[in-house]
Structure formats: C-alpha cells, structure tokens
Amino acid sequence: MVSRVIPVEPFDLVIFGGTGDLARRKIFPGLYRRFLAGQMTADSRIIGAARAELSDDDFRAMVATSIAEYVSESRQDSAMIAEFLTRLHYVAIDATGAGGWAALKDLMRDDVVRAFYFSVAPSLFGDIALRLNQHGVADAKSRIVVEKPFGRDLASAQALNATLALHFDETQIYRIDHYLGKETVQNLMAVRFANILFEPLWKAEYVDHVQITVAETVGVEGRGAYYDKSGAMRDMVQNHMMQLLCLIAMEPPYHFDPNAVRDEKLKVIRALDPVRPQDIVRGQYLAGGGQGDYLAHSENPHSTTESYIALRVHVSNWRWKGTPFYLRTGKRLRARASEIAITFREPPHSIFDDAQGWRENVLVIRLQPDEGMHLKVMIKEPGPGGMRLMQVPLDMSFADALGDDHDDVPDAYERLIMDVIRGNQTLFMRGDEVEAAWAWTDPIIEGWTARGDKPQSYDPGTSGPEDALMLMHRDGRRWREIK
C-alpha cells in the first residue's frame, strides 16, 4: 500500500514552552517525522520560544537529543536530522513581560501560515494571546493551539474562552485533545459513516451497552501536586472520554466538515443526563503505605482526589434511550489499555436448540496498544458433534492491514499539528463544546464534594475498586477484562 503525503503550506510554527516536557517528548519528534515523510516544505520553520536563554545552536542540540530519545531508530537518519535542524530557531521570551517579543516579531514572515502552539501552563495562555497581538506578532490569519487542561470548571473555561476571544476569532483557535488525533478514533468515524453495515444497528434497539475504558499502569509520580487538584474526572473524563463518547453517540454530520462534526458532538454533550450518585464509583490506589500509595505523591495527606473513576452515563435522546454508556479510567491499573466496546443485543429468537455457546456480538475499537478494531461474531464450532456455537473475532489490526506503512501512520500530535497548518479544525474542540462538557461535569464534582464522598481504595495492578464491578453487575453486565 502506498501512502500519499501531501506537503502542507509553508509555515512559521512557534512553540511556546519549546524547552518543556511535552515539546521534547511529543512535538519535536512528531515534527521531525512529518519532515521525514515529506510534509514540510523547504521554507517552513519551527521557532522555539521559552524562558531559558538559548542560542539557535543550543536549541538545535536540545531538539537533536529529543529526536534521538523519542524517535524510533529506524527513522533516525543523520543527514535528514541535520537538515531538519536547520529549520529550527529559538527566541527567549517572557510570557508575562515584554522580553523577546520584538525579536519574535522580526522573525515572522508575511507570506506563510503563522501558528503559535501554547505548550505552557494554562495560566500563561491569556498572557501569550495578549502579547501576540500587542506586539504585532500574530496576524489576522494566525492560528493558536491551546493545550489541555482547558479550565478546571465551567467558570474558568468560560473566562479562558472570553480572554482568547479578545485576541483571536474562534476560527483561529485550536484546542487540542490528542485523543482526537489518534488513528483509530478517526477510523471510528470512517467505520460508522463510510459503511452501510454498522449505522442501521447503531442505536438503542440493537446496542445493549457501550463501555469506554482508559486504563493506565502508571501512577501520578512526579505530577502529584498537579494531579491532586484535578483527579480522573477532570483529567480524563471531561475531555478525552467525553470526546470518545461523542464520536460513538453523535448523529451523522451532513458533511465531514469542522462545524458540522462539532455541532453533532455538542448535541450529544447537551443530551447527557446528570449522573446519579449511585452511578459513580471513585477510587484511589493504596499499596499499604509507602511510595506505592497515591497519597505518597499528594501534598495533602488526606486528599480525596480520585485516581480512578467509573460512571454509568445516559445520553437522553431517541437514538440512545435505554442504552447505558459505562466509562472507566484509572491509574496504576492491571494493564495499559484504551478501548471502546459496543455490545449488541441478543438476536430476537434462537433457531439453535443448544445456544449455550452463544455470546453477544461486540465491536471493539482499540486505541492503545495495538490500535485496531475487531468484531466478535458467532460461528459454528468446527468439527463433528452437532451445531455448537463459538465466538471468534473478525480482526482488523492496523499493523496487519497496512503492512510496512503502519510505521508511517502519524501519531496524534503530529497529525493534529499538520491539521493546524492546513486550517482544519475538525479534530479540535470548539469553545462551546468545552463549556458544555464542563457544564455536565461540574455538578457531578460538586455533588460528591457536598456529600463528602471519599474514594474507595484499590490495590495497584488490579482493575480498580470492587464497587466498580458492582456498577455493572447490578445491571447484569460485566466489564471487559483490562489487558
């Protein structure tokens, strides 16, 4: 299979926070891979902007190290790396003061796309937006890319939207949710809307329930102070899991167009019922004291922040009436696995005398690891002995289907950055979407805070707290195994 790589327009991409962790781990390695794939024209440039006083050469050396560390060996080509590094420049900048802005303005060119990636703490988003305009660094066609978290509740998200709106039009603002950049997530839309097979069944009449799981094996180590103010609900559910839910639950947009897609997602968020207290399970990992405990990494020894959450959610509309969506995410769980599983209902009547082997059809969309999809279907168990049924997966693993080209599939960040340069906002959250997501999230958090609910402890390396199992058992359902 030959993949087509179309170069994007020439650009000047400024990475605020260009010496930070995200830039070094994701952004520069991703940009190098896009360069290698031939997507960057010769006159495109990447400009690091951060607090440290670095020369262009210091900055290039830092990026070279990040490529060496985070790009697979098979993609390390010293001549190409050297060529890529010539596209890099650096400006020391003070996001909250005047330093560096004139130098940055001098670097900007008029005839290329200008994009500004805010890979800095959210408290600096407003300062940078203001100064980009004040110092004439941005022009009317410039784009800004805003990292997560986008607010910590509705009020702060509204305030941030209002601040950004003072300086940039909504069409210039790209709010990143890197889950939307994942290949499988986009494939979900292709599977739903480019096939006739699934869409007729994609409703409560045929779908028993949906499970969305984002399980991590890592804990909060090193990020304890930040995480403790956030928790799984704010860190994962309000943004990433909400986006996945939207893509499953939304109506077909009239066109694969940024506003058409985002309008449909917004309708889903607005249709979410408030979540009842008995449909929420929160957990915190506890290894019996010591560094393995969540609390060892929190500044508050009595923290009730959840490192795990499971929710039973209802989308209150015609399509989904009676089909619950179960969401769960947590840290220090048994395995690192993100997946969406759509479980279909029983056939209305069994023609087989012995339907003992019968299991539901399940469509599993796996985001990580092993991106791919499989559909579990029933077949006859091979061999003599009558008609016995068994379940087998119809597999579509990207690694198999795409062969050698699989390595060329861009990762989420690089794909999204290229979308910014192309001016395509489809995979970015619109301001009203983020606000609607917080409007649904806030009462849930306020509810457990007012009730004084404490998270249940769970052992690291397990699938989470016991009560989360009950959330499904009482509905006669089971979570899929995390593996």
Candidate residues 20, 219, 231, 258; the one interacting with ligand NAD per rule CB under 6 A: 20
For the stretch 310-346, what's the b/e string if a residue is b when 16 or more beta carbons lie within 10 angstroms of its beta carbon? bbbbbbeeebbeebbbbbbbbbbbbeebbbbbbbbee
Is the CB of 326 or the CB of 428 nearer to ligand NAD? 428
Q: Does position 148 bind ligand NAD by CB under 6 A?
A: yes
| CB of 89 closer than 8 Å to CB of 59 | yes
Q: Does position 330 bind ligand NAD by CB under 6 A?
A: no
Is the CB of 240 or the CB of 314 nearer to ligand NAD? 240
Active-site pick, 240, 297, 374, 473: 240
CA distances to 170, 281, 387, 388 from 383, in Å: 62, 45, 9, 9
| CB of 12 closer than 8 Å to CB of 113 | yes
| CB of 379 closer than 8 Å to CB of 389 | yes
Candidate residues 51, 314, 332, 366; the one interacting with ligand NAD per rule CB under 6 A: 51
Beta bridge partners, 340, equal 212, 365
What tokens were used for 445? Answer: 């958090």
CA distances to 6, 237, 471 from 153, in Å: 39, 13, 26
Q: Does position 411 bind ligand NAD by CB under 6 A?
A: no
Is the CB of 208 or the CB of 414 nearer to ligand NAD? 414
Compute the least distance from the CB of residue 138 to ligand NAD, in Å: 16
Candidate residues 36, 81, 120, 212; the one interacting with ligand NAD per rule CB under 6 A: 120
Q: Does position 231 bind ligand NAD by CB under 6 A?
A: no
> Strand 280-285 to strand 456-458: parallel, antiparallel, or no bridges (unpaired)?
parallel
End-to-end CA distance of the chain: 30
Is the CB of 102 or the CB of 399 nearer to ligand NAD? 102
Compute the least distance from the CB of residue 100 to ligand NAD, in Å: 8
CA-based angle 357:360:363, to the nearest 5?
A: 135
Pick the stretch among 115-123, 366-374, 437-445, 465-473 that binds ligand NAD (CB under 6 A). 115-123
Q: Does position 161 bind ligand NAD by CB under 6 A?
A: no
Compute the least distance from the CB of residue 392 to ligand NAD, in Å: 38
Is the CB of 18 or the CB of 460 nearer to ligand NAD? 18
Q: Does position 121 bind ligand NAD by CB under 6 A?
A: yes
Measure the CA–CA gap between 149 and 245, rounded to whole angstroms: 19
Measure the CA–CA gap between 53 and 5, rounded to whole angstroms: 36
Grouping H, G, I as helix, E, B as strand and the rest as coil, residue 71 is coil
With a CB cutoff of 8 Å and minimum separation 6, the contacts of 89 are 45, 46, 47, 48, 56, 59, 107
Question: How crowded is residue 110: how many other Cβ atoms within 10 Å of its Cβ?
Answer: 7
Measure the CA–CA gap between 93 and 466, rounded to whole angstroms: 50
Q: Does position 184 bind ligand NAD by CB under 6 A?
A: no
Candidate residues 9, 21, 53, 475; the one interacting with ligand NAD per rule CB under 6 A: 21
Measure the CA–CA gap between 351 and 360, rounded to whole angstroms: 15
Pick the stretch among 57-65, 68-76, 144-152, 446-454 that binds ligand NAD (CB under 6 A). 144-152
What stretches of 300-447 adopt beta strand conformation (E)? Answer: 308-313, 325-330, 337-344, 362-368, 372-380, 389-397
Measure the CA–CA gap between 105 and 113, rounded to whole angstroms: 14
Measure the CA–CA gap between 93 and 52, rounded to whole angstroms: 8
Pick the stretch among 1-9, 46-54, 320-328, 434-442 that binds ligand NAD (CB under 6 A). 46-54
178 included as an active-site residue: no
Compute the least distance from the CB of residue 205 to ligand NAD, in Å: 38
Q: Does position 99 bind ligand NAD by CB under 6 A?
A: no
With a CB cutoff of 8 Å and minimum separation 6, the contacts of 9 are 41, 112, 113, 421, 422
Size of the site for ligand NAD (CB under 6 A): 22
Compute the least distance from the CB of residue 12 to ligand NAD, in Å: 18
Pick the stretch among 20-28, 257-265, 317-325, 462-470 that binds ligand NAD (CB under 6 A). 20-28
Q: Which of these, 82, 169, 124, lies nearest to 431 by C-alpha position?
A: 169
* Element (DSSP H or E) covering residue 16: strand 11-16
Q: Does position 281 bind ligand NAD by CB under 6 A?
A: no
Candidate residues 8, 13, 14, 22; the one interacting with ligand NAD per rule CB under 6 A: 22
Q: Does position 416 bind ligand NAD by CB under 6 A?
A: no
What stretches of 318-415 adopt beta strand conformation (E)? Answer: 325-330, 337-344, 362-368, 372-380, 389-397
User: Between 283 and 302, how does the x/- string for binding to ligand NAD read (CB under 6 A)?
Assistant: --------------------
Q: Does position 17 bind ligand NAD by CB under 6 A?
A: yes
Pick the stretch among 114-122, 258-266, 299-307, 422-430 that binds ligand NAD (CB under 6 A). 114-122
Candidate residues 14, 19, 144, 161; the one interacting with ligand NAD per rule CB under 6 A: 19
Compute the least distance from the CB of residue 424 to ligand NAD, in Å: 21
Is the CB of 52 or the CB of 61 nearer to ligand NAD? 52
Q: Does position 50 bind ligand NAD by CB under 6 A?
A: yes
Q: Does position 93 bind ligand NAD by CB under 6 A?
A: yes
Which residues in this chain contact ligand NAD in the complex, by CB under 6 A? 17-23, 50-52, 93-96, 119-122, 124, 147-149
- Catalytic residue numbers read 240
